[in-house]
Amino acid sequence: SMTKAAIINMTQGLAKELGRFGIRVNALLPGITETKFASALHADPRNRAMVEKLLPLGRIAQPGEMAGAVLYLVSDAASYTTGSCITVDGGWLA
């Protein structure tokens, strides 16, 4: 999507600009996730079934499934990671 492309470009640009100050810039690109915010998208069982059919993993993500990627990005394990965008979308962009 255009929004994700903008986030990728911004993340990479800021990583180049801020790296010399020891600031790492990374992003999480989540797919459709079971949240209050997105509930209207999957409240109708027909819409939900259509979306799940389009997802290679066949289901909508749970919020906790984003946590592992976020934990990595904020941990010391990611100390040499900058300008990266981690996609957690069940294969939507595959």
Q: Can you tell me the distance from the alpha carbon of 75 to that of 33, in angstroms, rounded to the nearest whole number?
A: 23
pLDDT-above-90 percentage for the chain: 77
Rounded average pLDDT over 35-53: 86
- For the cut 90, the answer to whether the pLDDT of residue 36 exceeds it is no
What pTM does this model have?
0.83
Three-state DSSP class for 33? Answer: strand
- For the cut 90, the answer to whether the pLDDT of residue 43 exceeds it is no
Contacts of 86 (CB under 8 A, 6+ apart): 26, 27, 28, 29, 69, 72, 73
Give the chain's domains with CATH numbers: 2-88 (3.40.50.720)
Three-state DSSP class for 87? Answer: strand
- For the cut 80, the answer to whether the pLDDT of residue 1 exceeds it is no
pLDDT score at 40: 79
